[in-house]
Amino acid sequence: MEAIKTLIKWVIVIGVIVLIWMKFVPWLKERHSASTSTAESPGVACASAAAAASEAWGSGVGRFANPNVDMSAWDEFRSRVDQQARRAQERCLCGDSACNRAKGALADLRGLISEMDSSLRSGSPPPSDLVQRQEAIDNAINSAREQAQQAK
């Protein structure tokens, strides 16, 4: 009986730790990034947000390149990256050339996400130029970041 009580206590402790890790840590990171980005120029903030969205895509899309994709995992991943891309687009409302370049890269990223989604849902292979398009998106974002830093 004592072993069951100890086990229940451990399950509760682990559950609290997981809850903190899943909810509090991302909230804290987002809050920290919002406070540090207030000193950034709009172009730098835009390019940084676009880079984060592109990194989220690039770091996880490889899991879905092979057949027999777990569609619920894909839906969660796609939703998370789409949300980051939307937030980045909201930060890219300035009219300077860095924001415009980053907005174009984000539009390309969202198009790539949409094409990948369509191919996975239809059972066809991913876009054959996936890597090249990702590289072009990253290059455009890097260029936007350089432009924004030069404009400071």
Non-local (6+) Cβ contacts of 56 within 8 A are 80, 81, 84
Cα 132 to Cα 60, 112, 118, distances in angstroms: 16, 11, 19
- List the domain range (segments joined by +) for residue 95: 41-151
**Residues 71 and 103 occupy one common structural domain:** yes
Structure confidence by residue, pLDDT tens digits, 61-82: 999 888 788 999 999 999 999 9
Tokens of 12: 């509760």
pTM: 0.71
**Residues 9 and 83 occupy one common structural domain:** no
Q: Which residues of the chain have pLDDT under 50?
A: 37-38
User: Which pLDDT value is given to residue 37?
Assistant: 46
Using the 8-state DSSP alphabet, how is residue 41 labeled?
Answer: -
**Residues 71 and 139 occupy one common structural domain:** yes
Structure confidence by residue, pLDDT tens digits, 138-152: 999 999 999 998 876
User: Which pLDDT value is given to residue 125?
Assistant: 85
CA-nearest of 110, 118, 126, 121 to 71 is 121
